[in-house]
Amino acid sequence: MLVPQSRFACFAIALPLYRVFEYALDASDPAVSGCRYRLPFNNGVKTGLLLTVSDASEFDPTRIKPVQERLDEQPILGEHMLTLTRWMSDYYLQPLGEVVFQCVPAYLRGSRPQHPLRLKYWRLLKPDSDLIEDLRRRSPRQFEICEALLKQPSGLIATQLKQINPNWHPVVKALEAKNLVRWDWLEQPVSAVPTPQLPVLTDEQREVLDAIATRLDHFAVHLLDGITGSGKTEIYLRMIQQQLEAGRQVIYLVPEIGLTNQLIERVSQRLGECFALSHSALTDFQRYQAWDRFRRGEVSIMLGTRSSLFSQCDNLGLIVIDEEHDHSYRQEDGVRYHARDVAIKRAQMLDIPIVLGSATPALESIGNCERDTYFRYQLDRRPTRFAPPPIELIDVRNSRFEFGCAAQTLTRVEQHLAESGQVLIYLNRRGFAPIVMCHECGWQSLCRNCDARLTLHQSVKSLLCHHCGFSQGIPESCPECGHDEVKHHGIGTEQLERGLQQRYPDTQVLRIDRDVIASREALKSRLQQLQSGEPCILIGTQMIAKGHDYPAITLSVVLDADQALFSASYRASERLAQTLFQVSGRSGRGDRQGEAILQTRFTEHPLIQALARQSYRKIADGLLQERRLLGFPPYARVVIFRADAIELKHALAKLEEIRTVLQTTKRFNALSCVGPMPALMTRRIGRYRAQLCLIAQDYQVLRSVLSQSMPALENLASSSRVSWSIDVDAYDL
């Protein structure tokens, strides 16, 4: 029974439906937007997030169910974030409920209660130097901690104590027992501990900082377009420090964590413990903890990957996006969005500056500078002595190969090792070999769920699918014809590692790819090795291509980039140029000139020629010209409708329905519509996929077609038989 004075509230529920849900709220309910409630839903219960409240309902009030229970005292999405989710839902045409729950920490997406984790800190009870001196003799470990606490009267938190002594806990316990030290709950923010020795800024860095400093009070997009190693990170750190001094908070986004440990170390050395960390290697709970600490203002910096963008706080002053061109900023499943673009929107809504940085900016970002909406700063010199190496081509048409390396390449590797350099070899293919087949009958090891080959992984003695995770044993004979031998072809990082290790038994060969870094310890020991500066060979996939700064690396090698020259993707050239400049830029960062080589069979190819002779900036300008002529993004906008089903014909039929809806709109003929057609890898994880692609030179045309169509499209519900989704600003066609 409804109480007469109840109110009506709209809720977002994480469902692929373009609507909100109405429930009745008790008059006594505080009805704070952004709080979660348990809601009766069909015959079960769902979690919903309160959006708005009103006194009237447009539906029959007697048929509206009351909510079951309120889950939050304090909203998990603030007003500003709610506005941002509405914008995302509208811009990306994603169901609001899904967007809303995408923007809260995974830990809170269900009905788990919020329990703010409070931090403890320890301080000296009696800052009595005699007593402490006395400890010096009797217990050096206790002395060490007391001495640190004496220097920091506001106390130290656990992570700080851990830096002094990894096994700090029993020591502090003993001090507590002696009544020398006491803990309390931390109330004030963790203070930044500025390092005394900052590097002297280069003229270029100074100019950039001065220029940005004049525009810190308002929204502006600043693009730092600076060669690898030109000191962009140093600029971010200075800007962040200014914000912290002004009492504001900062979100600092980095690409998907690979070798980002180094960056974290650099930030913490520089700014102390005043940041929270959030990335995919952490548990949901740890990420929630980070989100909560930042929200409460206990830490001033949120340093993390894509979804850290949705961290909330009261006084955000700056957003920094490092390696802004990186593809990991785009979420490609579920709610599709681009973190860079959403971040720019967020900065605009808050009227604060945002800084994007890259040695290889995305063509979109360069295009935006042309249209004069961004400020672009160019940094062309490294503060260290040596410029990034040019890319040198190694013509491998007539070469002898060993595990993917041409003889000429190995000679160069040996030279660098002999001169105590570290060598980086980039090969973007994990596993031992990408192809397993029978030479008698032509059988190939294909995935049973995907249109893809299984990759041979010797380390786990299996054939694995990199798309769906399917795995099977390695057949001893051909499953098709029974021939007693199957062969493998092509080279993956595992095989490269084994080959190099056998050939250079006295040299450390370190492999870093997704298979290895599952173990944090394994990764850590490899990074320590690199840091030590001892000669070694570092092998890896795209994880080692970006973001790190190991000064002992003097040679970068790219083994196999030729495939990209013949890719069907209009983005392939941009991506290849970015990868090559990033990989080559890892070399020569210390006190020796670096070198970079590219193995290729196509030395005369115009793009390969350009890579060897021109700057990224020049190449990007050329690629932008091409895009303009062809009418591709950023000079056009792309929206893709995707469908997947157990049978291909159902996926195609759904897209045909969608096309019919689109065709009824007024301006449909002003855009190009391609499809429905099967997607590139048609079968993936057991489902057939198809797509329908819309391209428009004029965004308004596209927008008008879509907004006229949405009401009808919203009724074409997804089902388990066939589901469909919209991909706005799709990354690829």
Closest CA to 641 of 705, 568, 595, 588: 705
504 contacts Zn ion (rule: CB under 5 A):
no
533 contacts ligand ADP (rule: CB under 6 A):
no
CA dist., res. 250 & res. 232, Å (int): 16
Minimum CB distance to Zn ion smaller for 630 or for 681: 681
230 contacts ligand ADP (rule: CB under 6 A):
yes
CA dist., res. 143 & res. 127, Å (int): 12
Decide which of Zn ion, ligand ADP, none touches 89; Cβ closer than 5 to 8 Å per partner kind. none
Dihedral class, residue 312 (left if φ above 0, else alpha if ψ from -120 to 50, else beta): beta
Contact track, Zn ion, 116-155, x by CB under 5 A: ----------------------------------------
3-state SS, one letter per residue, for 361-396: CCHHHHHHHHCCCEEEEEECCCCCCCCCCCEEEEEC
Decide which of Zn ion, ligand ADP, none touches 234; Cβ closer than 5 to 8 Å per partner kind. ligand ADP
Minimum CB distance to Zn ion smaller for 370 or for 485: 485
Minimum CB distance to ligand ADP smaller for 10 or for 267: 267
Tokens of 399: 């070469």
State the minimum distance, in angstroms, from the CB of residue 332 to Zn ion.
17
Q: What sign results for the dihedral spanned by CA atoms 711, 716, 719, 722?
A: negative
Decide which of Zn ion, ligand ADP, none touches 470; Cβ closer than 5 to 8 Å per partner kind. Zn ion
State the minimum distance, in angstroms, from the CB of residue 202 to ligand ADP.
5
447 contacts Zn ion (rule: CB under 5 A):
yes
732 contacts ligand ADP (rule: CB under 6 A):
no
Q: Which residues of 264-286 are buried (b: 16+ CB within 10 A; e: fewer)?
A: beebbebbbbbbbbbbeebeeeb
Tokens of 349: 């809504």
State the minimum distance, in angstroms, from the CB of residue 148 to ligand ADP.
26
Contact track, Zn ion, 462-481, x by CB under 5 A: ---x-xx-x-------x-xx
Residue from the set 102, 205, 260, 554 that interacts with ligand ADP by CB under 6 A: 205
Residue from the set 31, 125, 193, 201 that interacts with ligand ADP by CB under 6 A: 201
Decide which of Zn ion, ligand ADP, none touches 228; Cβ closer than 5 to 8 Å per partner kind. ligand ADP
Q: Is 615 helix (H, G, I), strand (E, B) or coil?
A: coil
State the minimum distance, in angstroms, from the CB of residue 383 to ligand ADP.
4
202 contacts ligand ADP (rule: CB under 6 A):
yes
155 contacts ligand ADP (rule: CB under 6 A):
no
360, exposed or middle or buried, with CB in 10 Å at 0-12, 13-18, 19+? buried
Decide which of Zn ion, ligand ADP, none touches 231; Cβ closer than 5 to 8 Å per partner kind. ligand ADP
Angle between the 699-714 and 648-663 helix axes, to the nearest 10 degrees? 120
**CA 55 to each of CA 104, 275, 436, 573: distance values in angstroms, whole numbers, following the listed order:** 28, 43, 67, 57
278 contacts ligand ADP (rule: CB under 6 A):
no
CA dist., res. 684 & res. 690, Å (int): 11
For 373, half-sphere exposure in the C-beta direction (CA atoms, 13 angstrom radius) is 10
Residue from the set 376, 483, 605, 659 that interacts with Zn ion by CB under 5 A: 483
Tokens of 657: 């329905």
Minimum CB distance to ligand ADP smaller for 265 or for 714: 265
With CB under 5 A, what is the number of residues at the site for Zn ion? 15
264 contacts ligand ADP (rule: CB under 6 A):
no
Residue type, 330: R
Closest CA to 337 of 345, 346, 325, 329: 329
State the minimum distance, in angstroms, from the CB of residue 426 to ligand ADP.
17
549 contacts ligand ADP (rule: CB under 6 A):
yes
Residue from the set 379, 438, 645, 728 that interacts with Zn ion by CB under 5 A: 438
588 contacts ligand ADP (rule: CB under 6 A):
no
Q: Which residues of 473-509 are buried (b: 16+ CB within 10 A; e: fewer)?
A: ebeeebeeeeeeebebebbbbbbbbbbbbeebeebbb
Residue from the set 384, 449, 603, 718 that interacts with ligand ADP by CB under 6 A: 384
Minimum CB distance to ligand ADP smaller for 390 or for 479: 390
Question: Which residues, at least 6 apart from 138, have a Cβ–Cβ distance to it below 8 Å?
Answer: none
CA dist., res. 559 & res. 566, Å (int): 16
DSSP 66: B
Minimum CB distance to ligand ADP smaller for 261 or for 471: 261
State the minimum distance, in angstroms, from the CB of residue 236 to ligand ADP.
8
586 contacts ligand ADP (rule: CB under 6 A):
no
Residue from the set 87, 143, 443, 731 that interacts with Zn ion by CB under 5 A: 443
Residue from the set 222, 232, 430, 683 that interacts with ligand ADP by CB under 6 A: 232
Omega before 505 within 30 of 0, i.e. cis: no
Closest CA to 86 of 18, 163, 175: 18
Residue from the set 47, 160, 228, 556 that interacts with ligand ADP by CB under 6 A: 228
Q: Which residues bind Zn ion (CB under 5 A)?
A: 438, 440-441, 443, 447, 449-450, 465, 467-468, 470, 478, 480-481, 483
Residues that bind ligand ADP (CB under 6 A): 199-202, 205, 226, 228-234, 383-384, 549, 589
